Structure 1
């Protein structure tokens, strides 16, 4: 099934259906183009993907990636759960789908949903996959070709025609990391926290006071956290005990790496987090 556009059709009242004098008709198609002005408000240069907010099934969905190189719309688990979809809502879909890293992904099925963009509504088939992604969904050529927009990751926006005007969808604003301020605890410069430099003074003082009042719960070294309950975390090697272990050829790290490895091993042994085990030859 291909994407479709939804239109509202109304019948003119009888009194208005009289023939009118013929007028010259001009088919006006707005021009979709980008200029240097479209870069205003964006960080240049950049390598960011084009992430926008779309209204899908009457919900505003953020972090939707526009990918003109893909031939299928994809929905990821976060959106699948957010829309409260169930397996019985999906249609079967058996064609293989490759992820960005070239691996096959697990498919749940397919569902047809409306995407509203301004006054325009386009229905597309989303392939629902069961794999992690930083995006909620991907819209691609089927949506682009039906709506008729032009997307520019460089200018971080999408332009599409609607009647005799051009509408724009701006990319979601990038989350900017706040500057952090180093706060040393006591006389040891190696023991410190980082708090937001833009925090209000009172809030910052209360946060630092809270950290200092609970300093005993922080582990600054491996020795500060000995005796961790094995039911909480335990590392083990996935080996077959019936197979005779083979000694691997030694890897010779650089002098700096060897010293760093030795220091870390000593710390963990002193803390009781690891121990040396001897196996019979």
Structure 2
């Protein structure tokens, strides 16, 4: 697309901006690969800070808060969006439009220019613009996170733009409306800042507005989640409990204790103690029914001992006993894998939602 004279987005070195006008969201230089930029319009110049270069991004992005502060003659060049941005902010996001600008990288005496099409995205961000791999390829630019610099060729030689300060960025987005919610680059969110390892996955098909609304809801409702086992009060026995219905004519069986790999054995000891402290397990002194524990490996490589919040019938608790290196323990809550545990769980759900079920 041919551009009129003066329609340029110019990125420059910090030293060349000291005497110019105030910037758009030009806050302190504390971001990896942040470079200062310049917009040259008719009798107007506006600084832009917080430009992020991302070699993994397949599109160039200008956030709407930045677009709305461009000169009017720039904004009139906005076109309708023709396709979504898959994977942006963990969803398929539809831009509010697109705009093509001549981007000029300048660090005197070097400069390089290229026409770059930006997708305009309406979402909160700590950045104003993201330059992805397409733009970097047009400039022949190479970024270095370690050295905090951007290098690109020009007719006058190799140019270098440096950031003033570097700060590793762990998360891809922090929502202004729900400051405690952090969205990680793998699509999971951490609603509770006290437990950042407890993460929730948000559907990738949600719109930007729906995702933001959901994140704000999660931030406002962290008290309804159980972040540690002790937060789980369980289901009252008068509502539901699980019975094993063991045949009294069957001779009790004690399995021979099997050795476990060190990794699993250490996890088992730590997990059992954690669940004992939470009242989900208890120690058994004398027991005839004893089995070896079965642990399931989760997708992230860690181990799991599954259980429900439905209490075991007191008479049947010790029938769930199992070996550990620190003694014999049993469940006070219904563990996964018991016969008919699915039917007990379904009865609980039917009772809990009986007012909503047709």
Scaled by the length of structure 1, the TM-score of the pair is 0.43
Scaled by the length of structure 2, the TM-score of the pair is 0.34
Q: Which has the higher strand share?
A: 2
